[in-house]
Structure 1
Amino acid sequence: MIRIFIADDHAVVRQGIRQMLSLGADLEVAGEAKDGWGVVERLRAESFGLLVTDMSMPGLSGVNLVKRVKGNWPSLPVQVLSKHGEIQVAARALKAGASGYVTKDCEPVALLDAVRKVASGGRAISQELAEQLVFERDARADAAPWELLSDREYEIFLHLIKGERLSAIAETLHLSPKTVSTHKMRILRKLELKSAAELVCYAMEHGLLS
């Protein structure tokens, strides 16, 4: 029996994941959390065979959560189940230590297959994302400026290009507005841009808007 811990900030999504995983007789959802800090707290007290986590949750989440989990529990496999289908987000999650990445619009059987494969020590990523990863790597000899953004900067970059206010981003990520503003300035400087409007144009030109 594979003991699975699921993390997502939406209760209805966690319930849906539970229902999908219940289709597997060898799978058991043994715990859940609504944010990254809840994941860390539970993992300190109990062992699991697999973590299935969203990428976008309040506070500790995404790449930072994956790094924290793999740094403290390196033997625990991490399967990302995310709404983000952008190859850039998937690449960063895999680089941080996740063993699998599938999107929330996948078929239940695809999630079951991914969960079993990752829990057994393998890797699982949707075929479309895998192909994009290969072609993206082969097409780029040098890193583009946006690829040089830190994980936190890239996370804030994704919020900015959606037109979100700094205060809203700060609340979502549990950061101070001043910290978010500082990151915004660094992002603009690294990309040699001057405004949020130029950020959006830049994202469109480089296919970073889903």
Structure 2
Amino acid sequence: MFNSKIKLLIVDDHFVVRHGTSLVLNQAYRRATIDQVENISDAISKIKEVSYDIILLDISFPKGNVQQFLDQVKIHRPNVKILMFSGLDEEVYALPYLEHGVDGYLHKLSSEDEIVQAVNSVLKGGKYLSESVKGKIVNMALGQAVNNPLDRLSSRELEVTRCLAQGMGNQEICNKLNLQKSTVSTYKNRIFEKLHIKNIVELISILNVIQDVDGFKDQF
């Protein structure tokens, strides 16, 4: 446990999640300063003002996008630790975000002890993943086949995939993710190429197969 005073920021659009997580962390880190924000815009303003030790960050927000925030973190606070804290399936999202430079991935259904363990690990300079995801990394290192085709996608490509799966058009995706229309088209083409598909119907079919066979529920 950390006895020194630390600064934490919780970025999540749900009050219950922010409040509950803050209570857990206040119990574990008595001398901690814990700030909460509900959107990406406020989160960017906060990191410009305050040097945090660790940020607990959700993946999906109604306005703004996580990639925009991570880019700003690299510019203004390159040494801050980032722990993704999401309800989305970690076996789909954890590895792409770790490859992008975050320090850990924690599911929102984790226990209080797991939350504290994850924060401790990241604050100590380690990476935090669940045992199932660690096993997946080992299998990949040993050359075993990975059955989930979404592993081929980057974190930003996964964001665009989620939007496509929700029936959004290019302009809606532009507005949600703050991207140029040509950029969305580029990501869309990359997604189709990596998944070896030609249209949205085939994309939805792949996602349905993943949910049925591998048990990835409610990730899109």
TM-score normalised according to structure 1 size: 0.81
Quick check: 28-37 or 163-172, which moved more? Answer: 163-172
Partner of 2:128: 124
What is the distance in 2 between the residues matched to 1:155 and 1:24?
33
Partner of 2:40: 36
Cα 1:189–1:118, aligned 2, differ >3 Å: closer, same or farther? Answer: closer
User: Retained in 2: the 8 A contact 1:87–1:133?
Assistant: no
Partner of 1:3: 7
Partner of 2:65: 60
User: Retained in 2: the 8 A contact 1:83–1:105?
Assistant: yes
What is the distance in 2 between the residues matched to 1:189 and 1:131?
28
Cα 1:208–1:186, aligned 2, differ >3 Å: closer, same or farther? Answer: farther
- The structural deviation recorded for 1:204 is 4.0
User: Retained in 1: the 8 A contact 2:89–2:107?
Assistant: yes
Segments of structure 1 that go 5 or more residues without pairing to the other structure are none
Segments of structure 2 that go 5 or more residues without pairing to the other structure are none
How many percent identity over aligned positions?
27
Partner of 1:86: 90
- The structural deviation recorded for 1:94 is 1.0
- The structural deviation recorded for 1:30 is 2.9
Residue correspondence of structure 1 range 21-170 to structure 2 within 5 A: 21-26=25-30, 28-57=32-61, 58-61=63-66, 63-139=67-143, 147=151, 149-161=153-165, 163-166=166-169, 169-170=173-174
Number of equivalent positions? 208
Quick check: 95-104 or 19-28, which moved more? Answer: 19-28
Q: 1:191 aligns with which of 192, 195, 212?
A: 195
Secondary structure at 2:7's aligned position in 1? Answer: strand
User: Retained in 2: the 8 A contact 1:21–1:29?
Assistant: no
Cα 1:48–1:170, aligned 2, differ >3 Å: closer, same or farther? Answer: same
What is the distance in 2 between the residues matched to 1:137 and 1:122?
19
TM-score normalised according to structure 2 size: 0.78
Quick check: 195-204 or 22-31, which moved more? Answer: 22-31
What is the distance in 2 between the residues matched to 1:83 and 1:170?
24
- The structural deviation recorded for 1:106 is 0.1
Quick check: 103-112 or 6-15, which moved more? Answer: 6-15
- The structural deviation recorded for 1:189 is 4.4
What is the distance in 2 between the residues matched to 1:200 and 1:139?
28
Cα 1:27–1:110, aligned 2, differ >3 Å: closer, same or farther? Answer: farther
What is the distance in 1 between the residues matched to 2:142 and 2:91?
14
Cα 1:29–1:196, aligned 2, differ >3 Å: closer, same or farther? Answer: farther
